């Protein structure tokens, strides 16, 4: 092992774990992070990740030893590991996060904090009990355009903030192909995806909500009586097919880097379940309206069906002197200030913008290095818990037809 390096162990080497691992290896000359251990429930996929990482390190003239563990407890106990990265499905976050926090080692937990409020509270309380603050993977906190937008707002460019809007229209039918399709595994799209924006609202409002109302449902991915179980078994002309039979621009969507996923038989592990296959209990669209104690109103307009377009995700902030519109997929910030007298469009695309999560993973790797050396985390379990509370409140409101939910009625141990 190289001296003065920070040993990294990754629990979960699916696509997200793979891409973050490769990012850390790519930046091995810019940080002191060094991947030393991997753990995954399907051995072949951590072997594939190990091979890819070693090849990347070889390109950097580095030769770390990367151990493979089938039990996450063994990775946590490995003395060569200083930073534990938990990049597993959220239904096992609690199982992995609690012993990781108790180990006293540095811990990264990918978003959301958990798939339900009970597990979110348990993780937060363990973080507090162990005095071991973890760093979380809310990617907007690491994306240059979002950070720049926050700075503009803090500097009063649009005056006092009064309203916020996120419009998120994304072609994520993949949520219905994978384990995300079940609430018991993912917590639904509100937990899995929209928790990003609940964190953004809290971040920009510098507060936590007072009350909210939400509506949601399923309009497109409705169950059929006799659909094929998997895309690979289907010959339909279907715009939502994934895998080798998909339209060219979708052939690699949510499919692993080898054919290992094709050999899976359990529904929870399959990545090409037909979107019309019965059993999914998540929504595919919705609205959430939030009021903060400081008077700020925030609204989320979301759908996981829609076209593949440049403005799939926009964030609009309205102040008493102007407004800002951030268009995530092109990295541009449209600013109207001084009551409309000034109009500027800023291009915040850095060299890493084309990389994973619009460059966020590169900044995250840098932040992980700083965090491992003692820096306060950019976003931690406290923020993860508050986003989970908003998710819980939104689910309750949706179930009751848009009923107004008071956040004081949502458990809050912080």
| CA 205 and chain centroid, separation | 20
* Distance of alpha carbon 188 from the chain centroid: 13
pLDDT single digits (tens) 98-134: 999 999 999 999 999 999 999 999 999 999 999 999 9
DSSP 273: B
**Percent of the chain residues past pLDDT 70, beyond the cut:** 95
- Report domain extents, the chain: 6-139, 140-221+281-409
CA nearest neighbour of 189 among 226, 148, 218, 156: 218
Instruction: Please determine whether the domains at 6-139 and 140-221+281-409 fall in the same fold group of CATH.
Output: no
Q: Domain 140-221+281-409 classified CATH 3.30.360.10?
A: yes
| Mean pLDDT of all residues in 180-203 | 98
Instruction: State pLDDT tens for residues 281-302.
Output: 999 999 999 999 999 999 999 9
* Per-residue model confidence as pLDDT tens digits over 208-246: 999 999 999 999 999 999 999 999 889 888 989 887 666
As a whole number, mean pLDDT of residues 371-380 equals: 97
Both tokens assigned to 256: 């692993």
How many Å apart are CA 108 and CA 348, to the nearest integer? 27
The reported pLDDT for the residue numbered 278 is: 97
Q: Could you please report the per-residue DSSP string of 335-379?
A: EEEGGGTEEEEEE---TTTTSGGGGHHHHHHHHHHHHHTTPPPSS
Q: How far apart, in whole angstroms, are the C-alpha atoms of residue 18 and residue 259?
A: 16
Residue with tokens 């449209």: 334
Q: Confidence band (pLDDT; 50, 70, 90) for 247?
A: low
The correct CATH number of 6-139 out of 3.90.1520.10, 1.10.10.10, 3.10.20.30, 3.40.50.720 is 3.40.50.720
In a 10 Å sphere around its CB, with 0-12 CB exposed, 13-18 middle and 19+ buried, how is residue 113 labelled?
Answer: buried
The 10 Å CB-count burial string (b at 16+, else e) for 151-177 is ebbeeebbbebeebbbbbbbbbbbbbb
pTM reported for the whole predicted model: 0.95
Q: What are phi and psi of 156, to 5 degrees?
A: 75, 20
Give me the pLDDT at residue 254, please. 45
In the structure, what pLDDT confidence band is assigned to residue 66 with cuts at 50, 70 and 90?
A: very high
């Amino acid at each position: 092992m190289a001296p003065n390096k920070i040993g990294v162990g990754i629990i979960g080497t699916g696509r997200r774990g793979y891409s973050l691992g490769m990012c850390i290896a790519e930046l091995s000359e810019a940080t002191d992070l060094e991947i030393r251990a991997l753990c995954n429930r399907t051995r072949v996929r951590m072997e594939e990740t190990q091979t890819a990482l070693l090849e990347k390190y070889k390109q950097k003239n580095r030769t770390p030893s990367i151990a493979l563990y089938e039990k996450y407890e063994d990775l946590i106990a490995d003395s060569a590991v200083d930073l534990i990265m938990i990049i597993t499905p959220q239904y096992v976050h609690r199982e992995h996060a609690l012993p990781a926090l108790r180990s006293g080692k540095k811990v990264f937990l990918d978003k959301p904090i958990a798939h339900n409020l009970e597990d979110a509270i348990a993780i937060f309380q363990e973080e507090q009990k162990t005095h071991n603050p973890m760093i979380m993977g809310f990617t907007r906190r690491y994306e240059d355009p979002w950070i720049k937008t926050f700075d503009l707002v803090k500097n009063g460019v649009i005056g006092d903030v009064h309203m916020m809007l996120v419009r998120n229209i994304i072609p994520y039918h993949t949520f219905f192909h994978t384990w995300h399709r079940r609430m018991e595994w993912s917590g639904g799209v509100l937990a899995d995806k929209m928790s990003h924006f609940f964190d953004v609202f809290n971040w920009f409002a510098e507060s936590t909500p007072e009350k909210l109302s939400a509506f949601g449902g399923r309009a497109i991915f409705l169950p059929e009586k006799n659909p094929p179980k998997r895309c690979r078994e289907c010959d339909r002309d279907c715009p939502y097919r994934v895998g080798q039979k998909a339209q060219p621009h979708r052939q690699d969507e949510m499919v692993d880097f080898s054919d290992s996923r094709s050999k899976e038989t359990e529904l929870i592990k399959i990545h090409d379940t037909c979107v019309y296959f019965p059993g999914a209990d998540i929504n595919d669209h919705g609205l959430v309206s939030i009021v903060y104690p400081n008077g700020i109103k925030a609204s989320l307009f979301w759908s996981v069906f829609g076209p593949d377009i440049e403005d799939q995700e926009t964030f609009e902030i309205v102040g008493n002197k102007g407004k800002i519109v951030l268009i995530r997929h092109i990295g541009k910030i449209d600013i109207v200030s001084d009551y409309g007298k000034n109009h500027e469009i800023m291009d915040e695309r850095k060299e890493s913008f084309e990389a994973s999560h619009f460059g966020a993973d590169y900044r995250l790797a840098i932040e992980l290095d700083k965090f491992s050396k003692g820096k306060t985390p950019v976003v931690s379990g406290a923020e993860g818990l508050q986003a989970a509370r908003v998710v819980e409140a939104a689910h309750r409101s949706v179930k009751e037809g848009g009923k107004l939910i008071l956040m004081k009625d949502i458990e809050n141990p912080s």
